[in-house]
A and B are shown apart, each in its own frame.
Chain A
Amino acid sequence: MQPYEQYSFGDFLNDSYFLNSTLNPSDETERFWANWLQQHPDKHPLWQEAHRAVLALDQGQAQYQTRHLAEAQVNGLWARIQQTTAAPQPQVFNKVYRNPWRMPRRWAIAASVAAFLLLSGLGVYYWRLATPGLTEQHTAYGQTQTLQLPDGSVVTLNANSTLRYTDDWQQGTERNVSLDGEAFFEITHLKSNARFVVHTGKLDVVVLGTKFNVNTRRNLTRVTLKEGKVQLNNLSNQQSLVMNPGETVEWSALRPTLAKKAVRAERYAAWTEKRLVFENTPLPEVAQMLEDTFGLTVKIDNPGLTNKTLSGEISLENEQILLQALHDLYGIEISRQGNTIILR
């Protein structure tokens, strides 16, 4: 790799260390760049442009993701697709009549029976090879579910989340699950020391025995460790990182390099106890949480509110109680039309 002093603007924006230190600065990265800039003062303008461009891209991504379908639209569109696919598709069978190779009827029957036996034999054989019993658990909006895996580990799935795994976990082999959404894991440590791996797109969480939270919503994967030890394997750049309790690590395409941040891990797992803990949490983040958990569309109709931060704890029992609490505790005016909530 070429040294930073030979970097062009585009090189900086394709460099994961640079991206990450801009979006997630730490003492170490600040020191590194301050030092580098001191040695290369002529590069300061270029560096600063690249720095601003990364921040602008980050905001651009946030805005890009605000275009989305409301839950009702997602369901409506799916109903339409199912309606169309359920309608008969006759054209496939009509052409047989024109086949010049038509056989006498008896032979046709014999041949089709033989073909059926052959194909079904192959089919069963292939089916056994291809599907080792995939289990999928999906939670609806506003619903959480606790389930036990074949090895005794316990997983609590947050609303609108999916967990997938194959049932054939043999003694001593690696245990694999994949997650889309958010879940809290309590992993049983096995005598065989078999690893437990949570796959989330480009980030694998590798565990021995521990309690941690994984959230993959909105193109951002966030892992928070409560107890024990986990290792993160970043498939996009082969980076590995070991986490300690009380740390959180985020991954997204824009910030592919993993960096740790200290947090109160309880805050990220509070949803498992039907509570929400805010700590200077910006209101837009609370709005996103409402959308992800209850399938609502939340609009903030007062520019002053976007900078508001909330601290405290409220119940997550149902959306009505939560909205009432937002109103009572923080004086936010709330109006509702169907699945759309407007905060003023």
Chain B
Amino acid sequence: MALSDDPIIWQQFREGDEEAFATIYRQHVQTLFRYGMSLQADGDFIQDCIHDVFVEIWIKRQRVGDTDSIKYYLIKSLKNRIFNQLGRQQRQPPAGEFGTDVAALSTPSYEEEWIRGEDEHVLLERLARYLDRLPPRQREALQLRFFEDLDYQQVADILSVNQQSAYNLIFRALEELRRHLLSGLLGAFLGLFCEIV
């Protein structure tokens, strides 16, 4: 779950303790920044949104609820803020994980480089960069689960889906990653095999 002293700090913050507020800011600002940047790569805009989130929770501190995980609470608030600012037209459809953006995946041919037998290290680096090109919701789910260490239920809440869908999203993201590890036919065959299993 969260840092074990989260409930204490959160309680102090709700009682108006400015030091607790500063601690919360210091502990989470980098996490919020890199998460925000993964949704919208505009540093100034993300800083503005982080500003708004902290101002809002301070003003509403007596009305905010309990939380076991401040990180989860802040990530969720930041996401709401970002999408409110970006406006309706850009908001992701809530059930987006079913219609993943296949076009976004037909990026440079890692398979060809693979066949050319490139240095393993170089290939891994390219794959890591490939994570950035996953369909946005898959990438977001993967980041929250593996990089930010939230549990499946928290990931599901942030993505506004149920826990099973969050699990599926991550599973599919891993499958996409895997597809790029394999060359042509063999990959397709194993992919099919896995769908059946």
Contacts and interface: CB of A to CB of B under 8 A. Distances in A.
A178 interface: yes
A60 to B, nearest CB: 4
22 contacts: A8-B197, A9-B174, A9-B194, A49-B181, A56-B127, A56-B177, A57-B177, A59-B128, A68-B34, A69-B43, A73-B47, A78-B25, A81-B25, A81-B54, A81-B58, A85-B55, A134-B8, A134-B12, A201-B4, A219-B149, A254-B146, A254-B147
B131 A81 contact: no
Nearest to A235: B1
A114 B169 CA distance: 56
Contacts of B149: 201-202, 219, 253
B171 interface: yes
A130 interface: yes
B143 interface: yes
A55 interface: yes
Interface residues of A, number: 49
A317 B25 CA distance: 29
B34 A61 contact: no
B111 to A, nearest CB: 13
Interface in A129-163: 130-131, 134, 136, 138, 162
Interface of A: 8-10, 13, 45-46, 49-50, 52-53, 55-57, 59-65, 67-69, 73-74, 77-78, 80-81, 84-85, 89, 127, 130-131, 134, 136, 138, 162, 164, 178, 180, 199, 201-202, 219, 235, 253-254
Contact of B55 (A46, A84, A202): A84
Interface in B1-30: 1-5, 8, 11-12, 15, 19, 22-23, 25-27, 29-30
B30 to A, nearest CB: 5
Contacts of A10: 170-171, 174-175
Most buried by A among B8, B22, B147: B147
Contacts of A74: 26, 29-30
A78 B25 CA distance: 8
Interface residues of B, number: 54
A136 to B, nearest CB: 7
A53 B181 contact: yes
B91 interface: no
B129 interface: yes
Interface of B: 1-5, 8, 11-12, 15, 19, 22-23, 25-27, 29-30, 33-34, 37-38, 43, 47, 50-51, 54-55, 58-59, 124-125, 127-131, 142-143, 146-149, 170-171, 174-175, 177-178, 181-182, 186, 190, 194, 197
A326 B111 CA distance: 41
A9 B178 CA distance: 8
Contacts of B143: 64
A50 B174 CA distance: 9
B131 A56 contact: yes
B12 A77 contact: no
Given A50-B178, A64-B131, 17 more contacts: A9-B175, A9-B194, A45-B182, A53-B177, A56-B130, A57-B142, A59-B124, A63-B129, A67-B33, A74-B29, A81-B55, A85-B54, A89-B59, A162-B26, A180-B3, A201-B2, A253-B146
